[in-house]
C-alpha cells in the first residue's frame, strides 16, 4: 500500500492510499483532523469517496458503466430488469434456478396492504406522483414491522424483496389515482414489467393486451436506471441507513432526493424543455440561454457530475427511442428536436470545453411519452427502477463492518461567540 504525505505548519504525516480493483485510488484521511485539527473541504463531494463498494463502477472519462463488472450495454441488450436486480443484490448473474426462485419471491410480494390504498384518497387528485411515492413508501414501515429489524439479515432481505415487488404497484396506483380510474391488483402470471403496464394502463372493464415492444422497451429503461454508484439519491439512502433507519424510510428519503430537477427530476424537465423549444429553429435561442451565466436556465438532460463523455445509457436510449417510435408508428417531432439539439450542442465550444453530453434523462422521456406516460410519472418510473440499486447499496452498507453513522463537518463562517442582548438594548 502506498501513502500520501501531507505537511501542515511544518508537521507532516503519511496517509494510506488504497487501490480499488479498477478506477482512482483513494487517500484515507480519517486521521487528518486528529493529526492537523483541520477538515477537508469538498462541497458537492466532487473529490470524495464516501464508501467502498463492489456494485457499480463508472469511468466518466471513457463513458463506461459496469454493474458487478457487466457493461450496461450488454445488460440492456441481453438481460432483464429482474435479473439485473438479482445481479445488483447478489453480485453474480443468477442460474436458471436462482432466477426462477427470485422471480417467485418478488412476484409473491407484489400486492400492498389493503389499507395502504386509503393513503391515496388523502391526496388531491392532481398531487404529483413523486409526492405520493414519498408518502406511501415511507408509510410502508407502518405496515411491515416484521421486516424492519435492520440487524436481522433475513428481515433485511424480505424488506428488499417487498420494496422491489411493491414499487410498481405503488407507482401504478399513483397514476390510477391521478386519472380517477380504479386500482388494479397485480396479475402474477405476467412479467415484472408487464404486470406494471397492466396495473397502469389496464381497466377492469376489459382485458389488457401487453405490447411486447413496449414491455421490452420499458424493461430496458428500468435496467438503464437501476443503479449508478454514489449519486445524490443513493448517498441519501446510505446516509439515512447509517443512522439505523428502517429500509422503507431510507428508500422514501432516496425518492425525495431523486425528485429534484438536477437529478431524477431531469427526465420530466428535459421533455418539457424539448416541447417548449418546439421547433429546431428555436434551438439557438435555448443554447444561448444555457450558455448565459446570468440565466439560470440549463439544458435539461445534459451534463453530468461524473460523465465527461457520452453517458452510455443515453446512447442506448437514443437508439431505443427511434426503434420504439418507429415500431409503434409514432412520429414525435420532439425526437427530431432532441437530435438537432444534441447535434448543435455537441458542436458548440461551450459544451465541448465543459464536456457536457446528453445524460440518461435526455431521451428517456420521449420513449415514456410514446408509451403513454404523462411527464409527471417519469421520475416515479426512475424511482421504481432505482429502488433496486438503492436497496443493493443499502444492504452493502448494512453488511459493511466499517460503516458508522455519516456525520460530515463544515467550514464555519458565522458569528464568533457573543453574549445575549436584551431586546430593550438592541
Ligand atoms: C442524473 O449522479 C448521478 O449519477 C445522477 C444520475 C443517476 O443515474 O443517478 O446519472 C441521474 O441525475 C443525471 C443528471 C440529470 N440532471 C440534468 O440533466 C440537469 C441539467 N444538468 C446539470 O444541472 C448538471 O450538469 C448536473 C447537475 C447534472 C451536474 O452538475 P455539476 O457536476 O455540479 O456541474 P456544474 O453544475 O458545476 O457545471 C459545470 C459547468 C458549469 O459552468 P461554470 O460554472 O463552470 O461556468 O457546466 C455548466 C455549469 O453552468 N453546466 C451546464 C449544464 N450542466 C452544467 N450548462 C448548461 N446546461 C447544462 N445542462
State the pLDDT at residue 273: 96
State the pLDDT at residue 402: 87
Q: Check pLDDT > 80 for residue 209.
A: yes
Closest ligand 1 atom to Cα of 359: 13
Average pLDDT, integer, range 298-303: 95
Q: How confident is the model at residue 148 (pLDDT cuts 50, 70, 90)?
A: confident
Report residue 81 as a C-alpha cell.
430488469
pLDDT digits (tens, 9 = 90+) for 14-48: 999 999 999 999 999 999 999 999 999 999 999 99
Average pLDDT, integer, range 121-150: 91
Residue of the nearest CA to atom 3 in ligand 1? 231
Residue of 303, 305, 308, 386 best suited for mutating to test ligand 1, as the one with most atoms within 8 Å of CB: 303
Do the beta carbons of residue 287 and residue 348 sit within 8 Å? yes
Residue of the nearest CA to atom 7 in ligand 1? 228
- Residue 195's nearest CA partner among 236, 164, 237 is 164
**Phi, then psi, of 358 in degrees rounded to 5:** -60, 140
Report residue 274 as a C-alpha cell.
424539448
Report residue 381 as a C-alpha cell.
418510473
Coil, strand, or helix at residue 145? helix
Report residue 317 as a C-alpha cell.
436510449
Q: How confident is the model at residue 156 (pLDDT cuts 50, 70, 90)?
A: very high
Q: Does the beta carbon of 379 lie inside 6 Å of ligand 1?
A: no
If you average pLDDT over every residue of the chain, what do you get?
A: 96
Residues recognised as catalytic:
304, 361
pLDDT digits (tens, 9 = 90+) for 226-281: 999 999 999 999 999 999 999 999 999 999 999 999 999 999 999 999 999 998 99
Coil, strand, or helix at residue 263? coil
pLDDT digits (tens, 9 = 90+) for 354-391: 999 999 999 999 999 999 999 999 999 999 999 999 99
Average pLDDT, integer, range 324-332: 93
Residue of the nearest CA to atom 51 in ligand 1? 303
Q: Check pLDDT > 80 for residue 1.
A: no
Q: Does the beta carbon of 302 lie inside 6 Å of ligand 1?
A: yes
Residue of 304, 316, 357 best suited for mutating to test ligand 1, as the one with most atoms within 8 Å of CB: 304
Do the beta carbons of residue 375 and residue 365 sit within 8 Å? yes
Average pLDDT, integer, range 385-408: 96
Q: Does the beta carbon of 266 lie inside 6 Å of ligand 1?
A: yes
State the pLDDT at residue 416: 97
Q: Check pLDDT > 90 for residue 149.
A: no
State the pLDDT at residue 150: 87
The percent of residues in the chain predicted with pLDDT above 90, rounded, is 96
Q: How many CA atoms lie within 13 A of 358 on its CB side?
A: 28
State the pLDDT at residue 353: 95
Amino acid at each position: 500500500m502506498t501513502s500520501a504525505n501531507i505537511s501542515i505548519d511544518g508537521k507532516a504525516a503519511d496517509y494510506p492510499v488504497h487501490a480499488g480493483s479498477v478506477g482512482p485510488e483513494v487517500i484515507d484521511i480519517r486521521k487528518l483532523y486528529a493529526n492537523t485539527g483541520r477538515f477537508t473541504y469538498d462541497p458537492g463531494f466532487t473529490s470524495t469517496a464516501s464508501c467502498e463498494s463492489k456494485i457499480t463502477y463508472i469511468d466518466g472519462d471513457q463513458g463506461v458503466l459496469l454493474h458487478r463488472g457487466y457493461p450496461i450495454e450488454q445488460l440492456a441488450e441481453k438481460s432483464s430488469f429482474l435479473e439485473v436486480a438479482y445481479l445488483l443484490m447478489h453480485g453474480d448473474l443468477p442460474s436458471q434456478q436462482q432466477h426462477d426462485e427470485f422471480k417467485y419471491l418478488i412476484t409473491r410480494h407484489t400486492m400492498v396492504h389493503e389499507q395502504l390504498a386509503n393513503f391515496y384518497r388523502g391526496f388531491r387528485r392532481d398531487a404529483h406522483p413523486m409526492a405520493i411515492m414519498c408518502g406511501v413508501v415511507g408509510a410502508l414501515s407502518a405496515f411491515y414491522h416484521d421486516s424492519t429489524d435492520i440487524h436481522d439479515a433475513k428481515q433485511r432481505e424480505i424488506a428488499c424483496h417487498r420494496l422491489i415487488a411493491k414499487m410498481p404497484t405503488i407507482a401504478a396506483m399513483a397514476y390510477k389515482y391521478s386519472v380517477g380510474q380504479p386500482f388494479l391488483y397485480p396479475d402474477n402470471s405476467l412479467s415484472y414489467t408487464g404486470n406494471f403496464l397492466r396495473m397502469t394502463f389496464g381497466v377492469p372493464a376489459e382485458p389488457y393486451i401487453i405490447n411486447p415492444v413496449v414491455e421490452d422497451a420499458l424493461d430496458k429503461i428500468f435496467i438503464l436506471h437501476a443503479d449508478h454508484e454514489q449519486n445524490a439519491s443513493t448517498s441519501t439512502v446510505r446516509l439515512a441507513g447509517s443512522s439505523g433507519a428502517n429500509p422503507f424510510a431510507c428508500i422514501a428519503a432516496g425518492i425525495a432526493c431523486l425528485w429534484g430537477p438536477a437529478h431524477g427530476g431531469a427526465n420530466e424537465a428535459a421533455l418539457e424543455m424539448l416541447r417548449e423549444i418546439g421547433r429546431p429553429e428555436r434551438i439557438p435561442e435555448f443554447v444561448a440561454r444555457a450558455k448565459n451565466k446570468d440565466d439560470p436556465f440549463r439544458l435539461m438532460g445534459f451534463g453530468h457530475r461524473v460523465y465527461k463523455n457520452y453517458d452510455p445509457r443515453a446512447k442506448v436510449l437514443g437508439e431505443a427511442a427511434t426503434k420504439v417510435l418507429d415500431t409503434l408508428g409514432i412520429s414525435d417531432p420532439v425526437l427530431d428536436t432532441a437530435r438537432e439539439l444534441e447535434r448543435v450542442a455537441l458542436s458548440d465550444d461551450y459544451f465541448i470545453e465543459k464536456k457536457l453530453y446528453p445524460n440518461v434523462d435526455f431521451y428517456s422521456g420521449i420513449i415514456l411519452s410514446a408509451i403513454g406516460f404523462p411527464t409527471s410519472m417519469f421520475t416515479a418510473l426512475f424511482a421504481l427502477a432505482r429502488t433496486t440499486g438503492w436497496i443493493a447499496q443499502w444492504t452493502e452498507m448494512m453488511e459493511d463492518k466499517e460503516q458508522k453513522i455519516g456525520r460530515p463537518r463544515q467550514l464555519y463562517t458565522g458569528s464568533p461567540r457573543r453574549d445575549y442582548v436584551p431586546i430593550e438594548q438592541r
